[in-house]
Amino acid sequence: MKEKIDFIKNHSFFKYSWVGAVFTVLNIGLVWLFIDVLHIPTIISSAVVVGGLFVLKYFFYKWAGLVGRK
């Protein structure tokens, strides 16, 4: 049983899922903050948040060893 748990923890899919979930929550939270709290127009908020998180997600994938492996 421990071997299966270790396999799941070290498996790349778990890392992709974890990063995807974190960035989904960040996306929702930041768009809410920008639009409802800071009253920044939706088109600007969406472009900044989605674009910024897209670039940041790449660096997280690279940091986790999921991009650029040989």
The answer to whether the predicted template modeling score (pTM) of the entire model surpasses 0.85 is no
The phi and psi torsions of 50 (rounded to 5 degrees) equal -65, -45
Crossing angle for the helix pair 42-63 and 12-32, to the nearest 10 degrees: 160
Residue 38 has a pLDDT of 94
Mean pLDDT per segment of 10 residues, for the chain of length 70 residues?
Answer: 61 81 95 95 95 93 77
> Which of these, 59, 51, 64, lies nearest to 16 by C-alpha position?
64
